[in-house]
Amino acid sequence: MATQELTTGQTRMNTQELIRESQKWLDVISAKELTPEQKEKIATDTVDNFSYYYNRGYLEYRKSVIEMRDNPALEWVGEGSTFQDLTGRTYIDCLGGYGIYSAGIRHPKIVRAVRDQLDRMPLSSQELLDPLRGALAELLGEITPGDLQYSFFINNGTDAVEGAIKLARLFTGRTNFISSLRGFHGKSCGSLSLLGKWEYREPFLPLLPGIHFVEFGDADAVIEELYKADQTGKGIAGVIMEPVQGEAGAIVPPDDFWPRIRKACDEYGALLIADEVQTGLGRTGKLFGVDHWNVVPDIMCLGKALGGGVMPLSAFISTPKIWGVLETNPFIHSSTFGGNPLACAAGIAAINVTLEEDLPGQAAKKGKWLLAQIIRLKMRFDRLIHRTGGKGLLLGIEFVNTEIGYKVVSGLFRRGVLVAGTLTNSKVVRLEPALNIPDKLLKEVIGALEETLREVDDATPDIQKDEE
C-alpha cells in the first residue's frame, strides 16, 4: 500500500518506490518462512490494498473478513482437501473453489505437468502448431459422449458459453435461445443474457434479445417455447441447460427432462447445449452430467475442473458436422491465451488423474454417503433446513431463510470448514469438496455441521421463513 492520500487521485509512488514495492511482494512470494511481524504486515497491507485498489465491497461480504475483523483469514497454502491461512490455521475445503478443485488442491501430477511445461514454453506464438493443444483436443474428443469431437479452448466458463452461443448462431442461422430460470452461465454480456437471475441482469438490460426462460426441469415448457418460436417464424438456435443446476443450489431435473429436450431439439432443428462448466469431469458421479441420462448434446461447455485446479482452462466441444461452420474461416473465433501450453498441460493431467483415480466413481460413492448424512440432519433440524439434494459431490442445503444460512456458514467457518455462502447469498449453500476428499475429512465436516446446526437451533427460538 502506498500512502494515505489516495483519495487525491494522483499516483503517489515514484519509480524507485514502485520497484521496491513490487520487489517486496516478490520476496513474499519466494519466502520459505515468514516472521509473525511479516505476516501481520501482509494481512494489513492486503486489507488496505483491497480497500484502496481492488474493491472494498468484498470486505463487507467475505465471511473470512467479517468473522475475523481484527485478523482476517488470508488464503495461503493448500494441499488436497485442506488449506491453511497465513496464520497457519487449517480449514477443510468443502467448497472446492466452486468446482475447480475436483482433483484437490495442488494435485502432484497436475502441478508437475504444469511445472515441466513452464520450464519449456509457457505460452505460444500462436503461429506454429502447438502439440499440447492437439493432444488435449484429442483426449476430450475421445472422452466426451457420442459424436462430440472438436474442441476450442479458452480460459473461463463464460468464454465457453460465449463460444457456444456463436457456434449455435452460425450453424443454425438463428438468433434465439431457451434457457432456465435461476440457471447460471457466466457474467459476460452474451452468457449473462442466458442467466436466469434478475439481480445480475437488471443493471445491464437490454442484453441479447430473443432469450426465452422456462422453469428448470420442465420439458413441456421447453417444447412449448420451441413450438411457439417455430410457429411465429423466430426459430430457436439453441437450448442451454446445466445438467444439474449448480449455482441455484444443486437442483436435479426429473429423469425424463434431458431425453425429452434432446428429442424436441431434434424435431425443431435447435442445438442442445449442455453447460457442464460445473458438472463436467466427474462432479456429479459420472464423467459428464448428461451421462446420467445417456444424452449426447450438440455442444458441451467445460471449465472449472478442466484446468485441474492449477490453471484456468475452459472449452466448448461439438460434432464434426456443426464444427464445419468454423472451418471455412478458423479465425472467426479466436483467443490470445486460449489453449496455451500451460493450460493444456494442466488439462491433459486433469483428464489423466480423473480417469486414473476414478474421480467420478469416488464422487458417486462419497456423495451418496454425504447426502444421506445431510438428510439425517435435515430430519433432526427441520426448523432450519428447507430442502437438500444434488448428485455426486454437487450437493445443496437450502435453509429456511438467509439469516439461518449465514449463521450456519459462518459457524462452520469458525470450526474450520469452508462451504459456499456469503452474507447476501446464504439461503442455499453448496458443498463441493474435491472428489477424492478422504472419508475421514467428510466425517469431520458432518460433525462440524451437526454441532453448528445445534448451536444455531438453540440460539434461534423464532424463525421466519423467507418468501419463496
Ligand X SMILES: Cc1ncc(COP(=O)(O)O)c(C=O)c1O
Chain positions contacting ligand X, by CB under 6 A = 98, 156-158, 161, 184-186, 242, 246-247, 275, 277-278, 303
Q: Which is nearer to ligand X, 158 or 436 (CB)?
A: 158
The least CB distance from residue 160 to ligand X, in Å, is 7
Cβ atoms within 10 Å, residue 205: 9
**Which triple of cell numbers denotes residue 111?**
502441478
**For 339-362, what is the HEC assignment?**
CCHHHHHHHHHHHHHHHHCCHHHH
DSSP 280: T
The least CB distance from residue 248 to ligand X, in Å, is 10
Under 8 Å between Cβ of 360 and 285 = yes
With CB atoms as reference, the residue minimizing the distance to ligand X is 157
Under 8 Å between Cβ of 437 and 81 = yes
The least CB distance from residue 100 to ligand X, in Å, is 9
Q: Which is nearer to ligand X, 198 or 200 (CB)?
A: 200
Q: Which is nearer to ligand X, 86 or 281 (CB)?
A: 281
The least CB distance from residue 72 to ligand X, in Å, is 24
The least CB distance from residue 281 to ligand X, in Å, is 13
The least CB distance from residue 97 to ligand X, in Å, is 10
Q: Which is nearer to ligand X, 184 or 288 (CB)?
A: 184
Q: Which is nearer to ligand X, 43 or 281 (CB)?
A: 281
Q: Which is nearer to ligand X, 72 or 280 (CB)?
A: 280
Distances in Å between the alpha carbon of 43 and those of 12, 85, 234?
22, 10, 55
Under 8 Å between Cβ of 333 and 326 = yes
Under 8 Å between Cβ of 429 and 419 = yes
Helix axes of 359-380 and 341-356: crossing angle, nearest 10 degrees: 70
Beta carbons within 8 Å of 230's beta carbon, 6+ residues apart: 236, 268
Q: Tell me if residue 149 falls in helix, strand or coil.
A: coil
The least CB distance from residue 23 to ligand X, in Å, is 32
Q: Which is nearer to ligand X, 194 or 222 (CB)?
A: 194
CA distance 96 to 92: 10
